[in-house]
Amino acid sequence: MNSLLFSLGIRSPTHHKPSITILNSHTVESSSIKIPNPQYKSQSVPVIENPNLLSRREALGIGFSFGILQFLSQPHPASADESASCEFTVTPSGLAYCDQVVGYGPQAVKGQLIKAHYVGKLEDGKVFDSSYNRGKPISFRIGVGEVIKGWDQGILGVDGVPAMLAGGKRKLRIPPELGYGMRGAGCKGGTCIIPPDSVLLFDVEFIGKA
């Protein structure tokens, strides 16, 4: 992925494609909600993109604002057994995690291009994006701000969070300050797919190197 919850496009604004993903909000591009890092800007608003990569994140909000209607009307496969109980461990940063499946492969290295599947939800359980629904995992460079901080920390491991191993599945509960903060994501016409100050819930499957 050339661009994320948001932190929902994951790459730089010029490399993002339309989708709601987990890229940095400043690198968002369009058709799916990426989880962009809130500090990046781009052409779409992927949920996982870094909120600072707005172009990408905006793509998430824009391409995503139109495609989300279709997305929400379709079934959303889960990345793990949602009925299974999972006790979250809360870290000092407010990021909480719970491993449903411990991986068997190598952990990611900062700056490495990796692949991951995910399902993103709000606290009320409403699904705002799913790579499973699109039938393709997202690719992004981990630990360099292409996605929201909650994703970088939740996968690489930091501040009490162990690093994920390839093949692992983890649930993340991301506080606003590590997600899209006061800006939210996918906002248009007074409404946002991810409202400001939202706590984000993610089921993440770390596939491995891209």
Whole-prediction pTM value?
A: 0.72
CATH of the domain at 105: 3.10.50.40
* Total number of domains constituting the chain: 1
The answer to whether 197 is a known catalytic residue is no
Instruction: For residue 74, count CB atoms less than 10 angstroms from its CB and return exposed for 0-12, middle for 13-18, buried for 19 or more.
Output: exposed
Pairing between β-strand 113-122 and β-strand 96-101 as defined by DSSP bridges: unpaired
Q: Which of 6, 71, 202, 206 is catalytic?
A: 202
Please tell me which residue in 10, 138, 142, 148 is annotated as part of the active site.
148
C-alpha 134/C-alpha 85 separation (Å) is: 26
Q: Does the annotation mark 202 as catalytic?
A: yes
- Domain encompassing residue 206: 1-210
Residue 40 to residue 10: CA distance in whole angstroms: 10
pLDDT digits (tens, 9 = 90+) for 14-41: 334 334 445 665 443 333 455 556 554 4
> Catalytic pick from 128, 132, 140, 206?
128
Instruction: Let me know if 148 is a catalytic residue.
Output: yes
Comparing CA positions, the residue from 45, 46, 53 lying closest to residue 22 is 46
> For 116-159, how does the pLDDT look when each residue is reduced to its tens digit (9 = 90+)?
999 999 999 999 999 999 999 999 999 999 999 999 999 999 88
